[in-house]
Structure 1
């Protein structure tokens, strides 16, 4: 018969199994399950949803590191002094948080892109704008700490437009492999709370830079609403974008490509006309029958290259052979659309609207 353990021996065994050394009822399994349950809980703020993935944030950060170098070099050349532009952060937050974090007054530039819906914002802090304006007007020899707390004047806005134009050029060059921006300044405001480009709770990507000119420092913010770049989300990955420009083809390579393409054979068909016949009429055709068409003889032929109409033509003979004389090029739908779009693309980007 098996030996029966006493109460003291049972408590001793339980005490040996309990990591805390207590002789009370053991509950290690429950505590472990409770701790595992809490370890799987992560905080989530529904007011600030993370719609941009970490991979896309890293891509945006790498993209604008190239912008900071190019913009800093452009400012240094324009001001004839060393200006350092440094990327300090890339965050996603709501539009209301971004607006209320800015100073008032500030230089709030509303940017509009031809190929993207919505707007972007380029904000320049007064602590660096006034020193740059002072430098452009011949000053800047002595460091100043006090600057007027007011909106920019018309003359100062014209000077700031030179800075924003440099930033726009650098942005377009940086984004060229991702999207052709074609940016222009559509509005300038001193009070950021007067501009509402997206709902207050809409997610935006905020790219912040630090501009340094001598002892003067200031912040420049580039605000990108998520709705604006949402069509580009598949491209914002480390494998599908590059911050470097495409390699320029040399004249020798271009000549080689043109030579090889010029030797390519294409199919050329002279189309007399197109006629629709019923199956009964087609079965009843015989030698000598005449098919009536709706096309006049004066309209000539249509020359088809690889199945697409390119030229009009006139039938005839040359040295006893049947021939076709090439006429005017046929306007295609994409050519007409391009002609209509060219005046819109050629609009000047220097003009800005000022509302204060």
Structure 2
């Protein structure tokens, strides 16, 4: 057992161990440090990599989950490559270049003050997704939408209300592609909740969220900028079990029936009106016979009163029935269903 004075001397490197047989004394502190250096060199020579772990901001997304989200947004870039040029009337090809996870407030401080943040709700998933574009790309998009000429330079100025409205229109145009890209994982209904340049407001909405950052490279006629997408951990938590790259690639997705939506569709269909027609029969007459018709004349049809009549719904033969009376009204009683053979042309169209 070492005394406190011996421990202090050891830490200062003042304790030496006498060796037998005339060997030189050994300093314990130097021996300990030498062993640590040798172990460090051995780890380096062995090819081991030491990764620092941040206890304040630990990783929440596994590698498979991050890869699944990357695949979703790689598909989104392909869709935006097709849809955005028609909206902006110029070539634009986004490319996913970087993914990272961390605290939202740590990423927020790297954006300039005039950045416009769009908060999107992916119902029914919780929390909100945030999208923002670099100012140089935002101003070029505004110049293009207003009919100006893209010259590759912009003036750093605050965004006006008109500017923000035009950029919101671009994000709203992207919502359909976002919905389609996520369709293999989960059915969502993206809506643009708010757009603001107030970073304090965005910080208050997002809080100290753990988020996944996806950075897209945007190139418009030689000018390169970025689009950043922040997805909170709470948004992906309900679908963590289906965030699998194998499921996304295979396109395998469990079809869950939404009974509420089904009921609404049925209610809407019940209010649809369809024309119903019941031909009593046909007869062919010469024009002279038609001109000589008078009140009380009888026209003989090609049907018999014992034969069922055909009920046509929207010009398609659907039922058979018999004519009768319901109160003071003439009515038709349904007594059969007509099963039409499949139309080969319908099969081709399907």
- TM-score range, shorter-chain basis? 0.5 to 0.7
Task: Name 1:173's counterpart in structure 2.
Answer: 180
2:195 paired residue among 188, 205, 208: 188
Report what 1:53 is aligned to: 62
Within 2, Cα distance between the matches of 1:145 and 1:212? 13
Which structure has more RCO (C-alpha within 8 Å, separation ≥ 6)? Answer: 1
Residues 52 and 151 of structure 1: is their aligned pair in 2 closer, same or farther, counting only changes over 3 Å? same
What is the CA distance between 1:182 and its match in structure 2?
0.5
Distance of 1:218 and 1:125 partners within structure 2: 6
Report which of the two structures shows the higher radius of gyration computed on alpha carbons.
2
Corresponding position: 1:67 with 2:71 = no
Q: Aligned with 2:94: secondary structure?
A: strand
- Offset at 1:96? 0.5
Q: Are the equivalent residues in 1 in contact too, given 2:139–2:154 (CA < 8 A)?
A: no
TM-score (norm 1): 0.57
Q: What 5-or-longer segments of structure 1 have no aligned partner?
A: 1-6, 12-21, 247-332, 344-356
- Could you tell me whether the CA contact under 8 Å between 1:152 and 1:190 is conserved in 2? no
Tell me how far 1:239 sits from its aligned partner: 2.0
State the match for 1:162 in structure 2.
169
Residue 308 (structure 1) aligns with: none
CA distance change for structure 1 residues 212 and 34 in 2, over 3 Å: closer, same or farther?
A: same
Match of 2:160 in 1: 152
Could you say if the C-alpha distance between residues 138 and 337 of structure 1 is closer, same or farther in structure 2, counting changes exceeding 3 Å?
A: closer
What are the superposed Cα offsets for residues 129-149 of structure 1, whole Å, 9 maximum, x if unpaired?
111111111112x41413241
Give per-residue Cα distances to partners, 1:136-192, cap 9 Å, x unaligned: 11112x4141324102323x2332233102321111111001111201111110122
2:227 is aligned to: 220
> Is the 1:72–1:84 Cα contact (8 Å) retained in structure 2?
yes
Partners of 2:71 and 2:245 within 8 A in 1:
no
**SS of alignment partner, residue 92 of structure 1:** strand
Aligned residues, how many?
A: 236
TM-score by length of structure 2 reads 0.58
Is contact 1:100–1:193 with CA below 8 Å preserved after alignment?
no
Listed one character per residue, the Cα deviations across residues 11-36 of structure 1 (whole Å, up to 9, x for unaligned) are 9xxxxxxxxxx9989x89x9499838
Of the candidates 245, 263, 280, which is equivalent to residue 238 of structure 1?
Answer: 245
